[in-house]
Amino acid sequence: MSPSAEEAAPRAPAPLRVLRAVDPYVAALAGTVALAAVLPASGRVAGGVDVASDVAIGLLFFLYGARLSTRETVAGLRHSRLHLMVVGATFVLFPLLGLATAVLVPGVLTQGLHEGVLFLCVVPSTVQSSVALTSIARGNVPAAICAGTYSSLLGLAVTPLLTTWLIGAGATLSADGLLRIGGQLLAPFVAGQVLRPWIGGFVARHRRVFGPVDRGSILLVVYAAFSAGMEQGVWGRIAPPDLLALLLVLGALLAVALAGTRLAARALGLDAPSVTAAVLCGSQKSLANGLPMAAVLFGGGAALMILPLMLYHQMQLMVCAALARRWARGRPAAVAPGGAASPAPQPGG
């Protein structure tokens, strides 16, 4: 019997196979950090980068508002137990876990990294990644859309308040800061919702064109934050053992979140597809929401604060993608609202 074309084709060299396995966006994030380390923005350039990142984030939330169907959001209210569980996991379970990590200071975590973990724990859930992963797992996609959306919108108010309460002097929440968060995140989102009847179809048809805005805005914020960290000498204070300890803590945090949300969803009597949606929404944290908030709340000190969020975000994508494929076995294919398949997970979500 002759071998198949796939068997007959020569295997790519091992280094090339490794490169193909790396998520391009993960590589872009690493490259952005490296660029900030070698060529940090300073002076007038830093000011220009800050303005550009503010504009990009505003455009991101405008497009998010234009994409979101108000009808689907209102219809999703019938999954009230699921939404309450996701909100509880995001803004109660995670902050409690973050506070519990205080026992690891200073033996395992430095004080600065602990504060970064606390900030990670009060950031809202994702929308894009949660929905895409739920679709892959053949879970309740409409419920995931609404759960991620409600968490994101609630986070615009709750995240700054919890950050100030839990981190204290490390964060500055003033009337000016609240206005900046409202002007940079909430106002563009509302504008997108208002204009959706006229531009929603155009944005949906050109999703591939507007898609780079999501990731590009995050890369700009990362570059600005890490440049500020270089200027202030933040990275000289992080030793390799500290970074390894942080990764272990984040892995434990993700494991507890996945197990806790699964147990809670089953205890509430949710069906299997809804349990999947609850777990994948309740264990996720959003870069798109967290990074601009960190820039407002911590200013030049945002670099160290966003490191745990960046690492956790990549970890959650890899682990949850593997879980989603495993859970999909034996279930009928899930279809996103409107009959279209949900997109692949978006790392910037």
Q: Which of 38-52, 114-128, 163-177 has the highest mean pLDDT?
A: 114-128
Q: Which residues of 207-230 are buried (b: 16+ CB within 10 A; e: fewer)?
A: eeebeebbbbbbbbbbbbbbbbbb
Is residue 333 assigned to a domain? no
Does the pLDDT value for residue 101 go beyond 90?
A: yes
Is residue 178 assigned to a domain? yes
Please state the rounded mean pLDDT for residues 10-38.
64
Determine the structural domain holding residue 295 and report its residue range: 24-328
Which one has a higher pLDDT value, 280 or 328? 280
The whole-angstrom separation of Cα 181 and Cα 186 is 7
Q: Which of 239-248, 315-324, 329-338 has the highest mean pLDDT?
A: 239-248
Number of structural domains in the chain: 1
The whole-angstrom separation of Cα 217 and Cα 239 is 29
Beta-carbon contacts of 337 under 8 Å, excluding residues fewer than 6 positions away, are 69, 72, 141, 142, 145
**What pLDDT does 141 receive?**
81
Q: Which tokens in the block code for residue 322?
A: 């593997």
Backbone angles phi, psi at 41, to 5 degrees: -70, 135
Please give the model's pTM, rounded to 2 decimal places: 0.75
**What pLDDT does 74 receive?**
66
**Tens digit of each residue's pLDDT (9 = 90 or more) over 182-202:** 676 778 878 888 898 888 888
Q: What percent of the chain has pLDDT over 90?
A: 23
Is residue 342 assigned to a domain? no
* Structural contact between residues 272 and 96, judged by C-beta atoms closer than 8 angstroms: no
Please state the rounded mean pLDDT for residues 317-343.
67
Q: Which of 80-89, 151-160, 217-226 has the highest mean pLDDT?
A: 80-89
DSSP string spanning 59-94? HHHHHHHHHS-HHHHHHGGG-HHHHHHHHHIIIIIH
Is residue 10 assigned to a domain? no
The whole-angstrom separation of Cα 94 and Cα 100 is 10
**What pLDDT does 342 receive?**
46
The whole-angstrom separation of Cα 144 and Cα 320 is 14
CATH number at residue 101: 1.20.1530.20
Please state the rounded mean pLDDT for residues 239-254.
93
| Closest by Cα among 187, 211, 121 to 158 | 121
The whole-angstrom separation of Cα 191 and Cα 273 is 33
Does the pLDDT value for residue 34 go beyond 80?
A: yes
Is residue 65 assigned to a domain? yes
Is residue 341 assigned to a domain? no
pLDDT bin (cut points 50, 70, 90) of residue 134 is: confident
Q: Which of 124-133, 139-148, 214-223 has the lowest mean pLDDT?
A: 214-223
DSSP character at residue 208 = H
CA quadruple 78, 83, 85, 89: dihedral, nearest 10:
180
My answer on whether omega of the bond before 106 falls inside 30° of 0, hence cis, is yes
Which one has a higher pLDDT value, 105 or 304? 105
Alpha helices in the chain (DSSP H): 5-8, 14-21, 24-38, 43-67, 70-75, 80-88, 94-100, 111-122, 128-136, 141-167, 175-181, 187-205, 207-231, 240-267, 272-282, 287-298, 302-328
Q: What percent of the chain has pLDDT over 70?
A: 77
Does the pLDDT value for residue 250 go beyond 50?
A: yes
Is residue 15 assigned to a domain? no
Backbone angles phi, psi at 271, to 5 degrees: -75, 170
Is residue 13 assigned to a domain? no
**Tens digit of each residue's pLDDT (9 = 90 or more) over 151-185:** 888 888 898 889 888 887 555 555 555 666 667 67
3 state DSSP class of 55 = helix
Beta-carbon contacts of 288 under 8 Å, excluding residues fewer than 6 positions away, are 60, 126, 214, 217, 218, 348, 349
* Structural contact between residues 123 and 151, judged by C-beta atoms closer than 8 angstroms: no
